[in-house]
Amino acid sequence: MSTLFSFLFQFGDAFAFLVIASMGLAIIFGMMGVINLAHGEFIMCGAYTTVSLAQLGLPLPLAILGGSITAGLIGMVLERTIIRHLYHRPLDSIVATWGATQGVLIVLGSTMQGVGTPLGSFTVGGFSYSTYRVVLMGIAVLLLVSLYLFFYHTRAGVIARATIQLPRMARATGVDTGKVYTLTFGLGAALAGLAGGLYAPTMTLVPTMGATFMVESFVTVVIGGGDIFLGAAPAAAILAVIRSGMTAWQGQLFGQIGLLITVIIVIRLLPGGLSGWILGGRK
C-alpha cells in the first residue's frame, strides 16, 4: 500500500512538473509554431520575482501571481518588438528568442536566498511527503482544465484558435490578429513565469535554473506535437511514468536521460508527435 502510494506520489510529482514546466512552451509552439528558447529565462524571471515579492512580505500565492504577470508582460514586449517580424522564419525565431533574453540573466544577477517550501509534510506508511507537492499536482490538473475551458469554451479562446488556423479569414471578420499573437505569446510567457513561481519554493535560485526546466519541457512538447490537449497532456503522463521509474531506479539525472532516449526513439516512430498520430489516425 505504502509502496503504491509512494509510486503514485512520484508519478504525480513528475506529471505535475512536466505539465507545469511545459505548458507555456506548448502554447507558444502549438499556437504559433515558435520554439521559445527564452522559456527558461521566463521561468527564471517568474521565480526571482516571486521570491523577491515574498521577501517583501507578500503572501506566497500573490507573489507567484506577480511573478507570472511579470513574465507575461516581458513576453508581450518581446513579441511586439522582435518575434513579430519572424513568424515566417521559424528557425530565426528560435535564435532570436535566445538572443533577446540574455540580458535577463545579468539583471537578475546572482544566486538568491529562496523561500522555504510551505505547507509542511504528511506521512504515509513511514515515509514523509511534502504537502506542497500534492498542491502542485492539483494545480497541474487545474491548469489543464482551465486552459481547455479557455480555448474551447470562451469567445477569446475561439478567436485565438481561429487566428491560428486561418489568420487571413480571422482578419477578414474583424479580428485584430496582431493583438491575438501578442496575447498568446504573453499567455505562454506568463505560464512559464507561473512554473518558475510555483517551483521557486522547492529549489535553489541560481541564474541558470531555467536550464533545469528546459530539457523536460522540450521533451514534452516534442513528444506531444502541435496540440496542447491531445499532445502535451498525454505526453506528460507517459513521460512521467518513465521519469519517475528511472528516477526511482537510478536517480534524478537518469530520469532525464531516460526522457531524452524516449524522445529520440519516439520522433523516429511518430514524427508528428502524439497529437499528430492521434489526429492522423482519426482522418
Partner 1 sequence: MTRPEVNSDLNRGASLIDATPKQQRNTLALWLSRLEGPQTLGSGRWFWLTLALAVLAAVIYPLFVDGWTVGNTAYFLVWTFMAMGLGVIWGYAGSLSFGQTAFFGLAGYGYGVLTLNFGAAYGFTLLALALSVGLAALLAVVLGYFMFYGRVQGVFIGIVTLSVTLVFQAFMAQTAGPEWAIGAARLNGFNGMSGMPPLTIPWPGGDVLLYADIALYYVLLGLMLVVYLGLRMLLNAPFGNVLVAIRENPERAEMLGYDVRRYQLLGFVLGGALAGLSGVLYTAWGQYITPSSMSITAAALPVIWVAFGGRKDVTATLIGTLVMIFLYQWLTIYGSQYAIVVMGVILVLTVLFAPEGIVLSLMRWISARLASTGGRP
Q: Does 257 contact partner 1 by CB under 8 A?
A: yes
Alpha-carbon torsion (119, 47, 222, 29), positive or negative: positive
C-alpha cell at 118: 510551505
Amino acid at 36: N
Q: Using CB under 8 A, which of 91, 128, 155, 174 touches partner 1?
A: 91
Question: Residue 37: what are its φ and ψ, rounded to 5°?
Answer: -70, -10
66 phi-psi bin (left φ>0, alpha ψ -120 to 50, beta other)? alpha
Q: Does 256 contact partner 1 by CB under 8 A?
A: yes
> Which range touches partner 1 (CB under 8 A), out of 9-17, 144-152, 162-170, 262-270?
262-270
> Which range touches partner 1 (CB under 8 A), out of 53-61, 94-102, 141-149, 171-179?
94-102
- Nearer residue to partner 1 within complex by CB, 268 or 283: 268
Q: Using CB under 8 A, which of 2, 4, 5, 33 touches partner 1?
A: 33
How many whole angstroms separate alpha carbon 155 and alpha carbon 206?
40
Cβ burial, residue 89 (10 Å; 0-12/13-18/19+): exposed
Q: Does 162 contact partner 1 by CB under 8 A?
A: no
Q: Does 160 contact partner 1 by CB under 8 A?
A: no
Q: Does 73 contact partner 1 by CB under 8 A?
A: no
CB under 8 Å to 142, separation ≥6 — which residues? Answer: none
> Which range touches partner 1 (CB under 8 A), out of 6-14, 102-110, 188-196, 229-237?
102-110
Q: Does 172 contact partner 1 by CB under 8 A?
A: no
Partners of 122 in beta bridges = 129
In our burial notation (b when 16+ CB lie closer than 10 A, e otherwise), range 146-160 reads ebeeebeeeeeeebb
**Cα 64 off chain centre by:** 15
Q: Does 120 contact partner 1 by CB under 8 A?
A: no
> Which range touches partner 1 (CB under 8 A), out of 50-58, 103-111, 118-126, 187-195?
103-111
- Nearer residue to partner 1 within complex by CB, 86 or 175: 86
Number of chain residues interacting with partner 1 (CB under 8 A): 42
Cα 270 to Cα 58, 223, 241, distances in angstroms: 46, 8, 19
Minimum gap (Å) between residue 82 Cβ and partner 1: 6
Count CB neighbours of 251 within 10 A. Answer: 11
Q: Using CB under 8 A, which of 3, 174, 269, 283 touches partner 1?
A: 269
> Which range touches partner 1 (CB under 8 A), out of 138-146, 166-174, 185-193, 254-262?
254-262
Minimum gap (Å) between residue 148 Cβ and partner 1: 25
C-alpha cell at 130: 511534502
Site residues for partner 1 per CB under 8 A = 29, 33, 35, 37, 40, 82, 85-86, 89-92, 94-96, 98-103, 105-106, 208, 211, 214-215, 218-219, 221-222, 253, 256-257, 260, 263-265, 267-269, 271
